[in-house]
């Protein structure tokens, strides 16, 4: 079922499981899997088996779970087309442009020449797919002849919509810092539909998930950008990196929106008309906006977050904890899913350690930028334009990832091991004492932050045994001072000074 739901662009999948003389039917979508009782398909229940064959044999591709807005040449109940090629396929949606008052009907051609269709691995979770498309002539007045992509995903119904966040971010920048608009993904149109509107089989079966588990289907049509590993030189990569760190800060400053999922998949680029490379921050579906600047804790009750919750263990997000860690914890205080948000190899240590995760702070995203920089320098092959794997940071559990990244910050031998196979053209960013020692200098700063955290934890452990009196008050004061000192170790200004980059453009 994991493989089925990771092939083509799917809303659900149906399959058979044969066990000796017995069979079960399986149904899976982004909210869970339904399995029938066993039946003896060769003997006692052969009529039921024939009904299964008839129903599935006569079904259209959409009836078998292919995303209903995708249409193929010869699409009919008589049988599926050759889905591997998508030649002549169309995306047909009724969606709303950011500057329009009402939704409009659009048709796009799937651009099979523009590259592969990306599908996230696994059944459960957001199940993101990205489809390269081009607007047909009758709708090109809105999109001209731009290369576009359609992002189809299944976020939680209770989470703020990604399209509304992008619109809010771009509106805030347009009013205060319009020069940064080119660094934020350009949304063209979008539509969100419920499971009832899509007619998912689980609706017919009456198998509604709990409100906290309910997902919606969201389609965003956006400008197409190039993947980070395809950047054409190390100098261009450094430009893209600085662009995105700077744009991320000004989004936070102008709209109080934190991205919260800095990763290699979410940083892209393009060249402007003058040939200059421009970094772009994409994928805002895990972002949070709070105009008071206080992003609340991602888990609001007192129960500790599980080390390896089901959504991660089943490979819902790009193969377990190494993918987007949608690590859910039920909250008794509000109907809102709680998460350790981010992608495992790039998440801040605070968000990886066991226990209830803290409020997601701006410095956590800065720490993610450090790990992204280290990851690229460790595994990027700039000659062949591809990323390798950093197995130490792509583990099955969040605690394993924490331990390995903690060692990276604290132990020189672990640090050196990470960059043992780094491409020679990237070594200058990793070496101690060079003029561009971006990584060791940033790592030293975040090592100090981790030292403060360790001290705070030790003091809190002592505090638990001192309930009252002068010693307890003095201990509380020491904890507060350590917390203040920790927050003063890093800032946007310090980060950019280490990069040798200007604060604004």
For the chain, what is the radius of gyration of the CA atoms? Answer: 25
Report which of 236, 223, 230, 225 is spatially closest to residue 275, judged by C-alpha positions: 236
434 DSSP assignment: S
SS3 269: strand
Helix (H) or strand (E) segment spanning residue 472: helix 470-487
Give residue 321's pLDDT.
39
As to burial, measured by CB atoms within 10 angstroms (0-12 exposed, 13-18 middle, 19+ buried), residue 189 is buried
Q: In angstroms, how far is the first alpha carbon of the chain from the final one?
A: 49
Q: Which residue has the tokens 């089943």?
A: 314
Task: Find, among 71, 77, 73, the residue nearest to 58 by Cα.
Answer: 77
Per-residue pLDDT at 301: 33
CA dihedral 368, 372, 374, 380 (to 10 degrees): 170
Confidence (pLDDT) at 74: 66
pLDDT tens string for the chain (505 positions)? 999 999 889 999 999 999 989 999 999 999 999 999 999 998 888 899 999 999 988 988 899 999 999 998 865 444 444 445 677 889 999 999 999 999 999 999 998 777 778 888 999 999 999 999 999 877 767 887 889 999 999 999 998 999 999 999 999 999 999 999 999 999 999 999 999 999 999 999 999 998 889 999 999 999 999 999 999 999 999 999 999 999 999 999 999 999 999 999 999 999 999 999 999 999 999 999 875 655 654 433 333 333 333 332 222 233 333 444 443 333 333 344 444 667 889 999 999 988 888 889 999 999 999 999 999 999 999 999 999 999 999 988 889 999 999 999 999 999 999 999 999 999 999 999 878 899 999 999 999 999 999 999 999 888 877 766 668 888 889 999 999 999 999 999 999 999 999 999 9
Tell me, what's the pLDDT at 307?
A: 34
Q: Which residues contact 331 (CB under 8 A, 6 or more apart)?
A: 299, 300, 301, 338
Dist. CA 60–CA 42, nearest whole Å: 26
SS3 355: coil
Report CA torsion sign: 458, 261, 409, 241: negative
Reference 277, options 267, 286, 291, 262; nearest CA is 267
Q: Write the DSSP symbol of residue 22.
A: E
Give the pair of three-digit tokens for residue 305: 């977050």
pLDDT of 465: 76
**Gap between the Cα atoms of 219 and 193, Å rounded:** 9
CB of 338 closer than 8 Å to CB of 328:
yes
Model confidence, pTM = 0.85
- Look-up: residue for tokens 């939680």? 156
What integer pLDDT is reported at residue 293 of this predicted model? Answer: 59
- CA 362 – CA 370 distance, rounded (Å): 13
Contact 73, 112 (CB under 8 A): no
How much is the pLDDT for 334? 39
Q: So what's the pLDDT on residue 326?
A: 44
**Nearest one of 111, 499, 159 to 324, comparing CA atoms:** 159
């Amino acid at each position: 079922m994991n493989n089925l739901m990771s092939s083509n662009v799917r809303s659900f999948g149906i399959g058979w499981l044969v066990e000796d003389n017995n069979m079960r039917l399986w149904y899976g979508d982004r909210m869970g899997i339904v399995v029938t009782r066993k039946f003896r398909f060769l003997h006692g229940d052969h009529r039921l088996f024939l009904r299964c064959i008839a129903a599935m044999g006569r079904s259209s591709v959409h009836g078998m779970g292919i995303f209903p807005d995708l249409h193929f040449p010869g699409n009919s109940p008589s049988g599926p087309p050759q889905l591997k090629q998508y030649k002549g396929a169309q995306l047909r949606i009724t969606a709303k442009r950011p500057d329009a008052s009402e939704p409009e009907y659009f048709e796009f051609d799937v651009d099979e020449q523009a590259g592969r269709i990306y599908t996230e691995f696994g059944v459960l979770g957001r199940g993101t797919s990205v489809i390269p498309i081009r607007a047909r002539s009758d709708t090109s007045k809105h999109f001209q002849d731009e290369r576009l992509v359609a992002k189809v995903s299944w976020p939680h119904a209770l989470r703020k919509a990604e399209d509304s966040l992008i619109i809010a971010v771009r509106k805030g920048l347009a009013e205060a810092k319009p020069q940064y608009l080119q660094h934020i993904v350009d949304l063209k149109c979008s539509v969100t539909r419920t499971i009832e509107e899509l007619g998912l089989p689980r609706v017919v079966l009456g198998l509604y998930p709990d409100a906290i588990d309910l997902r919606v289907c969201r389609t965003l049509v956006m400008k197409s950008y190039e993947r980070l590993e395809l950047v054409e030189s190390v100098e261009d990569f450094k430009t893209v990196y600085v662009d995105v760190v700077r744009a991320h800060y000004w989004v936070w400053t102008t709209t109080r929106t934190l991205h919260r999922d800095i990763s290699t998949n979410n940083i892209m680029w393009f060249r402007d008309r003058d040939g200059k490379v421009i970094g772009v921050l994409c994928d805002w579906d895990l972002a949070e906006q709070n105009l008071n600047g206080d992003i609340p804790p991602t888990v609001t009750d007192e129960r500790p977050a599980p080390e390896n919750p089901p959504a991660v263990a089943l490979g819902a997000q790009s193969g377990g904890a190494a993918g987007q860690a949608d690590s859910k914890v039920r909250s008794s205080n509000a109907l809102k899913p709680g998460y350790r948000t981010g992608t495992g190899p790039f998440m801040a240590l605070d968000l990886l350690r066991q226990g209830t995760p803290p409020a997601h702070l701006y410095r956590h995203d800065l720490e993610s930028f450090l790990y992204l920089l280290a990851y690229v320098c460790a595994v990027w092959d700039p000659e062949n334009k591809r990323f390798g794997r950093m197995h130490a940071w792509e583990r099955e559990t969040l605690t394993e990832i924490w331990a390995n990244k903690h060692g990276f910050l604290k132990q020189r031998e672990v640090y050196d091991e990470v960059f043992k196979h780094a491409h020679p053209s990237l070594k200058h960013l990793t070496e101690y004492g060079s003029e561009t020692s971006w990584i060791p200098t940033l790592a030293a700063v975040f090592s100090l932050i981790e030292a403060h955290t360790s001290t705070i934890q030790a003091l809190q452990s002592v505090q638990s045994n001192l309930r009252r009196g002068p010693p307890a008050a003095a201990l509380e004061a020491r904890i507060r001072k350590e917390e203040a000192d920790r927050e003063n170790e890093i800032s946007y200004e310090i980060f950019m000074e280490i990069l040798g980059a200007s604060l604004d453009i």
